[in-house]
Every structure is written in structure tokens, then in C-alpha cells.
Amino acid sequence: MIVDKVEAQFAEAQVFPSEKAYGSRELPQLPQEQPPPYAEGSRGPANRPDFAQTHSIFQSPTQQHVNFITLESKHNTIAGSYIINPDLPGSSTAHTRMLERRDKKRLRHNIVPNATFKTRHGAVNVNLATAGNNDQLGKAYVQIVTRHGKVNVNLFALQSNKNICLELATRHAPITLLIPPNFRGMLRFSSKRGNIQFLKTFAEQSRVVFADDKHADVLFGPGDLSQVEPTSEGTDYVSLTSRHGRITVGVCGADPIDTTSGGGLVKKLGELVMGTDLMRNVVLARADLMRARFASLSSPQGPTLGPHSPHQPSA
């Protein structure tokens, strides 16, 4: 398993209020006119919907206090800001439906989730927080599962005595997670062919206690966390699973996420070795060569040597 610790400079990130500075009745408010969480790099207007003007059941324009909520879709993107409050009364119908439709293959416990977000091809872009009665310990159980859709989660606040068990799973797509500074618990990573990236602040404050080619256990927060489990009281737990996608983790308000840079790994490595300008010339030359080969194959006279072919005799 490849674990990267990133120290590169990114664009300035949204700074959220202090997480521990509120009670059950005064939760931090996200900016009202905010673009979709983790908006992807622009390729055209169609890829950047106006979140403030979207009124879909899968894309809530306002912050919601929820319990026993299930959102499922094959192709739609699920987006919004959800405050998970296990103390809110939930209908028996919703509880039964979540019990029947929960993803038993991925759950590491037998507890019905307080919130479930599932897609097949659509992305999941959500802001999450916990809330409830401060006088007693409680934990919110959240499950986010996709097959091909990207998962972007901003866990921007954890209320005092209200911890979270968060399970993120995707087969082919990347996962990006930001945790609040007052997170205290374990993050368990599982990736068969992808890799894991720790952003700067998270890398400085976390500690790896186990790692092999496919798994890693990382602790974050003060105190003894050696016995953290999904159902442990007073601690947080996150499970991140992606078979092929990259997993990126940072700290909310401290580790900005760069979503504008494109290009594959080979291109990025080439820019580091040869410089941006030289690498651009290499990419352009390769594109000319591919166009010439395609034109020769399409010609009725059969394949011919292109203008940039290395086997063409020089003049």
C-alpha cells in the first residue's frame, strides 16, 4: 500500500467555525451561498451545477437535521449538508426500511445506520456533522456506498459527546475525506490497487499503528486509542474502502483540497523531471504522432509513415 504525505501548496480552503464551541441548539452554520462541496475542476458549465438553485430530493439546498435518512440513486449525484442527530425521533417505517436495505456486506456492526447514502454511478458530495443531547454519550452511524461514483465528505463538526462511525466504500472511484480537528479515534483504510494520500496537517498529527499492502490503521487525536472499535463509546471511527480508487484524507480548515489540477501520474512525474514546458512539448509531439498514424491507417493507400515517425529518413 502506497501512503503519500503531501506538503504541496493548494488553493485556500473554506474555514469553518470551531467545532467544540456550540451546544445542541447552536450548531455551526455553513455559508448559505456555497457551491457544491468539492466542486470538480471545470470542463464546462454542465459539470458545475449551481448548488444554491438546485432543488432535487438528492441535492438539498439547505442544511438539514436528520435521523434515519436513506438516499439511493443509480445515476443522480447526492449532495447537501446533513446534521446527524440520533436523538431525533424517527418513524418506525423509516427504521424498518433502513434495517432491510442496509449494506450488510460492508457494515462492520449490526446497528442500523442513522444515515445512508448509496449510488451506483453518481457521486456523493456531502457536508456532515453530529448533534444531540450533550449530557449523554451518543454515536451517529453513517454509511456512504457507491460503485463508480466519487465520494467527497467534509466532516466539518463533531459535537461534544456525539461521536461518529462513518463508513465510506467505493469500488472504482476515489474517496476524499476531511475530518474536524477534534476528531478522536481510528481511521481504517482498505485499498487493493489504489493508494492513500495524507494531506500535510493530517500527516503531522496522525500516527500509523498498522499497515500492509492492502490495509492501514491510523489513529488521530489525544489519549489512549488502542481499543477503538466501531461501537466504542466516546471515540470516533472511520472506515475507508476503495478497490481501485485513491483515498485522500485531511483536516477540515487546515488542509485545502486541490480539485482543479488534471492529468495522470505519468504527466505529473514528467513535469517534475523535465519541467512543465518540455513536458508540454513531449505531449504535443506524441499527439501529432498519433494523429499521423490514425490518418495513415484511414487512408485507402494503406499505412504510411507520418511526419514525425522515427523511421522516416531525414532530408
Could you read off the pLDDT tens digit of each residue along the chain, which spans 315 residues?
666 665 544 334 444 344 343 344 445 555 444 444 544 443 344 444 443 344 478 888 889 999 999 999 999 999 999 999 999 987 555 555 555 555 555 545 578 899 999 999 999 999 999 999 888 899 999 999 999 999 999 999 999 999 999 999 999 899 999 999 999 999 999 988 768 999 999 999 999 999 988 899 999 999 888 888 898 989 999 999 998 899 999 999 999 876 544 444 444 444 444 444 554 555 566 667 767 766 766 666 655 544 444 445 444
pLDDT of residue 94: 56
Q: Quick one: DSSP state of residue 51?
A: G
The single residue listed with the C-alpha cell 508540454 is: 280
**pLDDT tens digit string along 152-190?**
999 999 999 999 999 999 998 999 999 999 999 999 999
Residue 142's SS3 state is: strand
pLDDT of residue 102: 53
What is the crossing angle of helices 265-274 and 276-298, to 10°?
Answer: 130
Q: Which three cell numbers stand for residue 3?
A: 501512503
Q: Which of 116, 216, 119 is nearest to 166 (CA)?
A: 116
pLDDT of residue 168: 96
pLDDT of residue 45: 40
pLDDT of residue 85: 94
pLDDT of residue 300: 61
Q: What percent of the chain has pLDDT over 90?
A: 43
Q: Where are the alpha helices (DSSP H) in the chain?
A: 92-101, 200-205, 265-274, 276-298
pLDDT of residue 33: 40
- How are beta strands 151-157 and 175-179 bridged, if at all? parallel
Cβ contacts of residue 226 below 8 Å, gap of 6+?
A: 209
Please, which residues bridge with residue 218 across strands? 187, 208
pLDDT of residue 44: 40
- 6-12 own/partner pairs: CB under 8 Å, 24+ apart: 6/197, 6/198, 6/199, 6/200, 6/203, 7/200, 8/258, 10/255, 10/256, 10/257, 10/258, 11/256, 11/258, 11/260, 12/256
Residue 146's SS3 state is: strand
pLDDT of residue 213: 86
For 178, list phi and psi in degrees, rounded to 5.
Answer: -115, 130
pLDDT of residue 258: 64
Is residue 153 within 8 A of residue 239, CB to CB? The reply is: no
pLDDT of residue 112: 86
